[in-house]
Structure 1
């Protein structure tokens, strides 16, 4: 209570006082560039991802543009210790995805290298994945994949550096006969998602891959 009084929650765009559970005010919510993707239909993320991996379904909550409000929201989550923003993104996601036509068997989050995890203090995808798991009643696995190469954050890399993450991930256990929903924060070149998907596909049997991201670069 004292913390909320001394450090009240403010809209990330206009700085107006807002409820502690929100990230933007109602007026600024209209500035958030939602993708309006349908999970079970072809969309821009599906088209981009299909060039790299065999993907069943794809969904991006937001379009991620430089200096946009969507970028500010994701950066606050990743770099400014605002992990609870993940719950807001979950609420926005569950308002837009209904798995009535068939839900995945397992949610899998993209791992951080242990050095980056220690530096940041948390993996921004864990709370997001856990809340999705509870809402949809789908198991989540944060340890199916292990990051074995350390690198700078994608946002701080140039185009050529983003393409050099081959063999950066390792499967930690056998996984067969599953429809896996891979979860990441931002889809840029698709290199991270591609490396992870092929690591799973090349070491598993009868596995299908779908992807869900908080935002995609446009």
Structure 2
């Protein structure tokens, strides 16, 4: 049984990924920051269904707290599957964007990636098997008005994905990014109605969190052992 950590695991996409990885037989560590109650509820659901899971809470932007939490988790064994899903939005047109909006978004998506991934890399290398999947966005591929901060953070994550993939390729570790488009989660409520989705998405519907989870499950499996350094879009043919 491999151990999998999903950051932001209490959210819509994160929860779907946790359920799917648990169904695939992994021990899933459901991470949350402010959503610890939701994370524990998800753990209870997974365990009740016969799966294996535990919850953990820390702020990915706080290096010391993150390192301490990861050290405790590593005492139970190597984490060989990592899904960096934590991310936030703070949308504003660029001329009106505050420094706080810029730094908070970059801090979670990009610095959070470093704070979580870097301490787990060497233990993963020692096992000569690992899967790292970074959850990105169509905004990093095509850009989006009002999301210069988010696009920049996720675009940098794409570059980090490709570089890290090169570094660990000979160690049996793959590193990929998944870039979802419009997905049915709480984050799109109030942003896209049915008519807007039909205009933006050639498939004329929003994607389901489970569809993203299926892609992540494939990329973290043995079947995807030769896929690394890739940015895989899942957006209903938006781009």
Tell me the TM-score normalised to structure 2 length. Answer: 0.35
| Higher normalized helix content (fraction of residues) | 2
Between the two structures, name the one with larger relative contact order (CA 8 Å, sep ≥ 6).
1
